[in-house]
Amino acid sequence: MEPLFYTISQCCQMTAVGRTKFYELIASGEIPIRKIGTKTLVASADLIRWAEQLPTIQTKSGDAERA
């Protein structure tokens, strides 16, 4: 079963986003947070929703072959 919440450190590791950038995403409202006492958590559903709304980049067909 998937966890309902992740810590900021776990989110950074899973998304390959640095801590500073992740806090910028929180401050801008792109990623909502939840607080339990002093602990800051991100709901797994919110993290997935954020990842799914990221833009995709279309490459030229030849670029993929060179990579």
Show the domain range for 35: 5-54
Query: How many domains are there within the chain?
Result: 1
pLDDT of 67 above 90: no
- Domain contains 64: no
Question: Could you tell me the sign of the dihedral formed by the alpha carbons of 49, 2, 15, 63, in that order?
Answer: negative
pLDDT of 65 above 90: no
Q: pTM for this one?
A: 0.79
- Domain contains 66: no
Q: pLDDT band for 66, please (50, 70, 90 cuts).
A: low
- Domain contains 9: yes
- Domain contains 61: no
pLDDT at residue 21, as a whole number: 97
Rounded distance between C-alpha atoms, residue 39 and residue 25, angstroms: 18
DSSP secondary structure of 29-42: TSS--EEETTEEEE
Rounded distance between C-alpha atoms, residue 11 and residue 14, angstroms: 5
Model confidence over 15-42: pLDDT tens digits?
999 999 999 999 999 999 999 999 999 9
